[in-house]
Structure 1
Amino acid sequence: MPVIFRVDGCRFHFFANEGNPREPVHIHVAQPDADAKSWLYPEVELAYNRGFDARWIKRLRDIVVMRRTEIEDAWNDFFA
Structure 2
Amino acid sequence: MPQLLRIGPYSIYFWSNEGDPLEPIHVHISEGRAKSTATKIWITSTGNVILSNNNSQIPERILKKLMRMIAANSDDIINEWINRFGEIKYFC
- TM-score, L = length of structure 1: 0.88
Match of 1:40 in 2: 43
The Cα shift of 1:60 comes to: 1.1
The one-letter amino acid paired with 2:24 is P
The Cα shift of 1:16 comes to: 1.4
2:38 aligns to what SS in structure 1? strand
Equivalent residue for 2:65, pick from 32, 40, 59: 59
The one-letter amino acid paired with 2:58 is F
CA RMSD of aligned residues (A): 1.8
- TM-score, L = length of structure 2: 0.78
Match of 1:18 in 2: 18
Segments of 5+ residues of structure 2 without an aligned counterpart are 87-92
Note the alpha carbon deviations across 1:16-73, whole angstroms, 9 max, x for none: 1111111011011110498311000143100010211110111111111101111111
Question: Normalized per residue, which structure has more helix?
Answer: 1
Alpha carbons 2:11, 2:32 under 8 Å: kept: no
Moved more, 31-40 or 49-58: 31-40
Question: Normalized per residue, which structure has more strand?
Answer: 1
